[in-house]
Amino acid sequence: MEILAFGVQSDEKPLIERAFAGKHEVRCLDVFLNRDTAPIAAGYEIVSTSVNADLGGAVLQTLAAGGTQLIAQRSTGFNNIDLDVAERLALRVSRVSYYSPYSVAEFAWTLAMAVNRRVIRAAGRTRDFDFRLDGLLGRDMHGRTVGVIGTGKIGEAFTRIAHGFGMKLLGWDVAENPACVELGMRYVDKERLLAESDLVSLHVPLLPPTHHLIDKDALALMKDDAILVNSSRGGLVDTSALVGELRAGRFLGVGLDVYEAEAGLFFLDKSLEGVDDDTLARLVTFPNVIVTSHQAYYTEDAVGQIIDATVRNVDDYLAGRHSDNVLVPARPGP
């Protein structure tokens, strides 16, 4: 069986080839799956995709017409997949329901501390042999309040680090995590969390109820000198509203590893083309903002676990087994 893998990063390719070695052949492409590239998959029963793939109805139609029967997505999130259309087309869809939560939690803290301690500005200065401290004043995290929105596996890992800093812990979620409560977290309503927190970090999935969870009204509740970090999904934050608040001089810092219009931008080199996204272009000009390209998960440990889970998903499909990673089971359409 030859598998076609879209959106494979150069660091990821040898890990994928090694994981499938002796089982199946795998053809790795650095292009992302979208309407233009979907015809490449013709004749491939199994296609593996990355988190930024376009798996809307039109692309799924093309895949199904070309003979694809399994889509094995190499990510936990699946908001890019039209599951209803996949089910109608009898396409089996799997994902990776779990990988190292520490990769994302640690990177979220990397962003938080980088904006707090002005690391990017400081490094740029010293590269020019400018060793002044003006404008680099940060603050201790110890004793301050962190608000964790979403306290699942990643949120819990983030909370444990916050506990290590000696912070006061506030949480918001549909259900309390006993491990976070044991660390001293108090669960409060979202409005109180936003109003009282010095640092707010987002760790919830992107679903219709969470789209623009942090909108203009939510941002208005936050402290003027708060830090906001989003390492989950870009659509959780109304970016236009955020830019408006930043233009008004609010927030000590903002760290974003995701962006709501990142498809077609992130994971690609646009340095010679320029970007026609005015909101993103404005966002990256603020000196208290760091934007990275959806790399929080990108550690050897996490990527290795994602690939191993993808291999198991392929094996399960070929053996006719079901697992918790299956989002859409293969079955005849209407």
| Tokens encoding 256 | 């974003």
CA distance 183 to 159: 8
Is 35 annotated as catalytic? no
Residue 203 annotated in active site: no
Provide Rg for the chain, Cα atoms. Answer: 21
Question: Is 331 a catalytic site residue?
Answer: no
Q: How far are the Cα atoms of 76, 206, 241 from residue 99, in angstroms, in the given order?
A: 8, 18, 32
CA dist., res. 240 & res. 70, Å (int): 37
Cα(33)–Cα(109) distance, integer angstroms: 31
Dist CA 77 CA 49 (whole Å): 12
**In contact, 220 and 196? CB cutoff 8 Å:** no
Place of tokens 């039209």: 82
Instruction: Report residue 101: phi and psi, to 5°.
Output: -70, -20
Separation between Cα atoms, residue 201 and residue 302, nearest integer Å: 20
According to the 3-state scheme, what is the secondary structure of 160-174? HHHHHHCCEEEEECC
Catalytic residue among 74, 92, 95, 233: 233
- Pick the catalytic residue from 12, 196, 260, 262: 262
Q: How far is CA 89 from the centre of its chain?
A: 28
Is the sign of the CA dihedral 227, 232, 237, 243 positive or negative? positive
At position 159, the amino acid (one-letter code) is T
Residues assigned a catalytic role: 233, 262, 294
